[in-house]
């Protein structure tokens, strides 16, 4: 009976039906080098990459959820790979089960899928082996805590937000040799995705070495609870974006009837950038996480400090709770 209850309870937590612990204090921020694991209801590690030269986009996520009704933390993971040359989208999931999460050095394991760091240094290379992915990720910059240090607010719950915005990527995808650049996110706290919070998220790697993160957290009714942005300079310094606005444009309706804004204008005191989805058909329906969301590659053009700016990245738009 317990084995049958474990995935059910993990899904309940992800869908927001389990009690949410108020254990996140936004005045006590973690270190940028804190890769986890933590005693919070929700935690995840996330690697994403758009590889224009390879015609590929990918992301991998490892969730770790905790609930008092389950004796051990539960791991849920998935991998998505888009072949932009053929239009094929592959989405693989591992349902809730036990696993491993330790740091430092960072080591995550669920079944045969692993993310392991070569040593305790925050910039030590990482090895990601998950389904079709066999990758080495070497940080180009050090870890940062994205200002103000967390996503969300008292309405939605909070997630501390730490990661590495640029890593050299080498290895294979489905046995095919690839190279490019990746992005690593790590968040933890008491926010339940798809239930207490929805969001629109952008990771942009600009030509010249500058990285931009924009995060628009929404309440379940669609109203905006928080809009934050951070710039990571080529030398690794991080700062908040002043005067940020995120303006949705073109809307696409998926075959399931959900709407996603696939065109955006990101504006601040120093930049004016247009965001365009490379491919529309990127909606993902996660049986394990019980979430419907759009995730795919983007191309970015515009100006930064009155100079031309060009970049690429990934965009994630969370629609909400989904049950198969």
The per-residue DSSP string of 55-100 comes to: TEEEEEEEEEE--TTSSS-EEEEEEEEEETTTTEEEEEEEEEE--E
Assess whether pLDDT exceeds 70 at residue 212: yes
Is residue 191 a contact partner of residue 42, using CB atoms and an 8 Å limit?
Answer: yes
Residue 143 inside a domain? The answer is yes
Q: Is the confidence at residue 251, as pLDDT, over 90?
A: yes
Taking residues 107-119, what's their average pLDDT?
98
Judge whether 263 lies within some domain.
Answer: yes
Q: Which two tokens stand for residue 317?
A: 């738009």
Asked if 286 contacts 94 with a C-beta cutoff of 8 angstroms, the reply is no
Is 215 a member of any domain?
yes
CATH number where 165 lies: 2.40.370.10
pLDDT attached to residue 134: 98
Q: What are phi and psi of 9, to 5 degrees?
A: -70, -35
User: How many domains does the chain contain in total?
Assistant: 1
**Cα dihedral angle (32, 80, 66, 317), rounded to 10 degrees?**
70
Tell me if 255 is assigned to some domain. yes
Q: Give the model's pLDDT for residue 11.
A: 54
Q: SS3 of 124, please? A: coil
Residue 175 lies in a domain: yes
Domain of 228, in residue numbers: 2-17+32-321
Query: What number of other Cβ atoms are within 10 A of residue 31's Cβ?
Result: 10
- Residue 194's pLDDT is 85
152-167 mean pLDDT: 96
CB 205 within 8 A of CB 57: no
10 vs 3, higher pLDDT: 10
Q: Has residue 14 got a pLDDT over 70?
A: no
Q: What is the pLDDT of residue 151?
A: 97
Non-local (6+) Cβ contacts of 91 within 8 A are: 78, 79, 80, 284
């Amino acid at each position: 009976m317990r084995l049958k209850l474990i995935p059910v309870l993990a899904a309940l937590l992800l869908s927001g039906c389990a009690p949410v612990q108020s254990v996140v204090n936004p005045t006590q921020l973690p270190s940028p080098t804190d890769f986890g694991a933590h005693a919070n209801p929700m935690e995840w590690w996330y690697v994403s990459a758009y590889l224009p030269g390879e015609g590929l986009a990918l992301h991998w996520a490892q969730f770790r959820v905790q609930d008092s009704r389950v004796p051990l933390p539960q791991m849920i993971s998935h991998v998505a790979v888009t072949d932009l040359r053929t239009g094929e989208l592959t989405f693989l999931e591992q349902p809730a089960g036990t696993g491993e999460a330790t740091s430092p050095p960072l080591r995550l394991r669920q079944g045969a899928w692993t993310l392991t760091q070569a040593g305790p240094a925050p910039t030590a290379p990482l090895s990601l082996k998950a389904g079709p992915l066999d990758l080495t990720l070497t940080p180009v910059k050090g870890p940062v805590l994205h200002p103000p240090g967390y996503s969300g607010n008292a309405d939605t719950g909070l997630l501390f937000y730490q990661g590495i915005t640029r890593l050299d990527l080498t290895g294979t995808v489905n046995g095919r040799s690839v190279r490019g650049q990746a992005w690593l996110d790590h968040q933890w706290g008491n926010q339940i995705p798809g239930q207490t919070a929805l969001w629109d998220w952008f990771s942009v790697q600009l030509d010249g070495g500058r990285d931009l993160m924009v995060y628009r957290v929404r309440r379940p009714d669609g109203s905006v609870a928080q809009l934050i942005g951070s710039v990571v300079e080529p030398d690794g310094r991080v700062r908040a974006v002043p005067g940020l606005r995120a303006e949705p444009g073109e809307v696409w309706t998926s075959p399931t009837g959900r709407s996603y804004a696939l065109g955006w204008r990101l504006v601040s005191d120093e930049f004016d950038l247009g965001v365009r989805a490379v491919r529309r058909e990127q909606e993902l329906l996660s049986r394990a996480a019980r979430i419907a969301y759009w995730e795919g590659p983007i191309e970015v053009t515009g100006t930064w400090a009155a100079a031309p700016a060009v970049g690429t990245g990934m965009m994630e738009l969370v629609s909400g709770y989904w049950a198969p």
